[in-house]
Amino acid sequence: MWFEKLRGLVKNSWRIALIGVLFTSLGVALIARAAYHQLYPIQQAFLQNAGDNRAIRTITISANRGMFLDRNGEPIAVSAPVISFWANPTILVNYEHYYKDIAESLDIPYAKFVSLIESRKDKKFVWLKRQLIPEQSRALLRLNIPGIHQEREYRRYYPDAEVTSHILGFTDIEDQGQDGLERTFNDLLQGKNGSKRVLRDQRDRIIEEIEIINEPLAGENITLTIDRRLQYLAYRALKTAVLENNATAGSLILADAKTGEILALVNQPAGNPNDRAQRKSELLKNRVVTDVFEPGSIIKPFVVATALETGLWRPHTMIETGSGAMPLGKHMIRDVGRNGLIDVTKAIVKSSNIAMVKISQTFPPQKLYDTYKSLGIGQKSGLKFTGEQAGYLGNVKAWNKNSFEYATKTFGYGITINTLQMAQMYAVLANDGVYKPLHIKKDKPLFDDTHRVMSQKTAHEVVTMLEAVVGKGGSGRRAAVPGFRVGGKSGTARKVINGHYSNSVHRAFFAGIAPISNPRYVLVIVIDEPSAGKYYGGLVGAPIFSEVMGGALRLLGVRPDEIPDLPKLKLISKEQSR
């Protein structure tokens, strides 16, 4: 009995204890909940305030654009670090007392600055001024104004200014290529921007750089075939000639026929791409590839080359040109003078239209057409220059139907080429009759279409004729370079004005090769609308050839063909010198 009472008492005590624990736990929970509700607003306010005061952001790290280098490793286009300023108007509007200081530091008219900020006061971003050199940015940086931020960018700089402007083109304010090779090779040059995480305070200032997410990758440097020394030489000579001849424009290209490398390429007029105000189409137009024209007498050596390839003609084969006029259907073919009976070489020296027509009548038009096409007439070069024109060759059917139409093609009318194509054509002669595409990227040309146009024998015979043109009595004698054997061909073409050939507006040409003893370098000059009294290619273009080719051969270390006699020296003894 007493055992049962004891067991019941113990059992009730356990229940009482359990109930006590439960009530105690409930009380603690109620107290904790009450405390949480009392403290949470304070904690929430703290966290909210911290969130308002700091923010993690991801920002861009600009990549450095690759450089352009000349063939000797000299930089001709570089990107220099600059500072650009932007503002967060939602913050800056609270600091109006700084407006005057900001405007003065950035050289912005005060009224214009105020208008800029007020018109965007609900925005978080607006550019203030971009691409300042570090010296120009220091004054504003020292002020440490809330809402004003700096960003590192790059600005393109061209050390040679207008001398290389037509080759390189230029970039826009975002450092993206817009013209010239800057545009052609933009994907290689631009690199890849990086990014990083930063911590900003409530005034939007960076207070900590947390981590680099992606390192920026610099763009690729590109080495060109251009020789900076030769580029300067060519630029000065062409500019002087255009001014002296009161011409509207001019172009010049110098190339190595054996390698296909373009060594110099210049145009007039020219502009400085470092000055945005000079980035005008009329100043930066690359006329070497954009301007097409009828080549005139420059084409005649290739008519002769076609004839020599048939085996029917040799350099000393005779041709009767008569008194300088030859009827052809309803038209009259004329020479400048009366040449009478001359051989093929003399026909080139005298630039006889009648001789070219008579030669061409001995083979079908298709042969001449094929020669012109194989030389690249009517086709783009593949250099991918902005605005390049292919020229015009037309359809051989018209040549077959109309004898006069065919005849005009032998003295350079009815077809069009550009200066680059003219250089390419003469490079074939200098390269033993092999067409090797001219290129401007040093390490790896963009294309390769090497093919034979004529036999080595024919090329050598035509080059020898070109030397005669520059010899005594030749129309190109002013192209002579003292100490070197050179050859070339002058040309003059009337321009079409209002649908008709003008008798007073011309283009003057000269294309030449040096040295004849080992043909390698080709130089072509085009002067547009010379109007200072001379307009023939032999008078206007030939002297430029002499100056530029002479300087180039010396700079390139080419051994002269003729070494001038040194003055005789007489040794003087010590006794005599006293």
Amino acid at 485: R
Q: How would DSSP label each residue in 134-191?
A: HHHHHHHHHH--TTEEEEEEEEEE-TTGGGSHHHH-EE-TTS-EEEHHHHHTHHHHS-
Residue 185 CA to residue 175 CA, distance in Å, equals 13
Smallest CA-to-CA distance from 234 within 552, 560, 481 is with 552
Q: Across 51-90, where does the E strand assignment appear?
A: 55-61, 68-69, 75-87
pLDDT of residue 6: 44
pLDDT at 18: 55
Asked whether 77 and 223 are in contact (CB, 8 A), the reply is no
Q: How many Å apart are CA 227 and CA 548, to the nearest integer? A: 13
Nearest-angstrom CA–CA distance, 111 and 130 = 19
pTM, full prediction: 0.81
Contact, 534 vs 495, CB < 8 A?
no
Q: What is the enclosing helix (H) or strand (E) of 507?
A: strand 500-514
Angle between helices 456-470 and 419-430 (to 10 degrees): 110
| Catalytic-labelled residue, pool 84, 137, 165, 297 | 297
How much is the pLDDT for 496? 87
How far is it, in rounded angstroms, from Cα 174 to Cα 188?
16
- Give the span between the Cα atoms of 181 and 189, in whole angstroms: 10
With a cut of 70, which residues of the chain have pLDDT below it? 1-54, 59, 200-207, 563-578
pLDDT at position 398 is: 94
pLDDT tens string 184-242: 999 999 888 887 777 766 556 666 777 778 787 888 999 999 999 999 999 999 999 99
Sign (positive or negative) of CA dihedral 405, 407, 413, 417: positive
- Strand residues in 306-405 grouped as ranges (E): 318-320, 325-328, 331-334, 341-343
Type of residue found at 489: K
pLDDT score at 563: 65
Whole-number pLDDT of residue 3? 47
Alpha-carbon torsion 418, 420, 426, 429, what sign?
A: negative
For 45-87, write each residue's pLDDT tens digit: 444 444 544 678 786 777 889 999 999 999 999 988 888 888 8
Task: Identify whether 297 is a catalytic site residue.
Answer: yes
What the chain holds in terms of domains, given with CATH numbers, is 60-223 (3.90.1310.10), 228-555 (3.40.710.10)
Q: What is the pLDDT of residues 530-567, one digit of tens each?
A: 999 999 999 999 999 999 999 999 999 999 997 655 45
Predicted confidence (pLDDT) per residue in 150-180, tens digit: 877 888 999 999 999 999 999 988 888 999 9
Which residues are registered as beta bridge partners of 61? Answer: 194
